Structure 1
């Protein structure tokens, strides 16, 4: 069985007046587009405009670890973003589920998405199995039926912390989902049974922050290991 894909979540609080500097530095990360194992990276600003949120997807942990060893520090120095942010939080872990949508692969979804929806969930102890079953049986088919979903992932960031990310074709499609489908799905999921705290983000994606992919066949929306 193939190793699971690897997801990375970056949450930066940017200094007042430093948005342009941060964004300029973020565009320099396009240099990693040729990195073996990278399936794609994207991001944008949250609703306050003070926080930059980014999600990257790797074919496996080995490729991600190789990037950290061989290239990360040099590119971070070249990007010169350190002075533009007040705080940065980085978490990474295995992708334990993938949600199908209209995109044939996850790299395709990363490439074409215009909106990222993310739910950073900290679970009650012992609720992970039920939480994942609800993602698979309630949320995944419900979102796909709503229209506009390209794909999604569930990344385990810690023992009881999971990041649910979904990628959408347009702001209009995402708004239609939240208006018409989301309330009933949330009621069916009975979220508080599993989730102790949830931090949600809706991120309009910055096209210039997209880091492309090289046509890898990795990133199928079937067969993701739990």
Structure 2
């Protein structure tokens, strides 16, 4: 499984246009290997949108980028709605608990994403801690989650929650 983490900086006056343009990406559901997508506005940085897109594998994502991305992007007029974009691809290394995050992409009410940069000498230990955390099972209110990594010692932890209160109880 592949997780694509997209962050866009959007001026306050363009937030509505950005959200409307996001609807154009509904065409993704017809792309081979596309599993689901969820996103929203960053609570800590209100002019930053985050979108987590989940794909079967890298090959399916590459085919989409070569054959369908540009047409969907042009039709949505998304490019005129943000000032900056960053896109990172993470290969899934483990789920949190026994439930696959792909089962809940369309059911989550709150998406929490954390990014980590880990020194090379600490990568093996960090990955073991992630796997151990994933094997401990679900936290009440968490629907699912997944950990992913990139080649440059960067990691992503994504979790989907049934509501904001469930996540806040754990955060507190």
- Decide: shared fold, TM above 0.5: yes
TM-score (norm 2): 0.93
CA-CA distance at 1:93 after TM superposition:
2.7
Aligned mate of 1:65, from 62, 65, 75: 62
What is the aligned partner in structure 1 of residue 26 from structure 2?
Answer: 30
CA-CA distance at 1:142 after TM superposition:
5.6
Aligned mate of 2:170, from 172, 177, 186: 177
Q: Distance in 2 between matches of 1:42 and 1:148?
A: 17
Aligned mate of 1:90, from 87, 92, 109: 87
Aligned-residue RMSD, C-alpha: 1.5
Q: Distance in 2 between matches of 1:163 and 1:31?
A: 26
Higher relative contact order (CA 8 A, sep 6+): 1
Q: How does 1:46-195 map to 2 (within 5 A)?
A: 46-47=42-43, 48-100=45-97, 104-137=99-132, 139-140=133-134, 144=138, 146-179=139-172
Q: Is the 8 A contact 1:116 1:168 kept in 2?
A: yes
Q: Distance in 1 between matches of 2:137 and 2:164?
A: 15
Secondary structure in structure 2 of the residue aligned to 1:19 = helix
Paired residues in the alignment total 171
Q: Distance in 1 between matches of 2:7 and 2:150?
A: 13
CA-CA distance at 1:36 after TM superposition:
1.1
Change (3 A) 1:115 1:143: farther
Q: Is the 8 A contact 2:100 2:145 kept in 1?
A: no
Q: Which runs of 4+ in 1 moved over 2 A?
A: 104-107, 139-143
Q: Is the 8 A contact 1:155 1:163 kept in 2?
A: yes
Q: Is the 8 A contact 1:121 1:163 kept in 2?
A: yes
CA-CA distance at 1:143 after TM superposition:
6.5
Q: Which runs of 5+ in 1 are unaligned?
A: 180-226
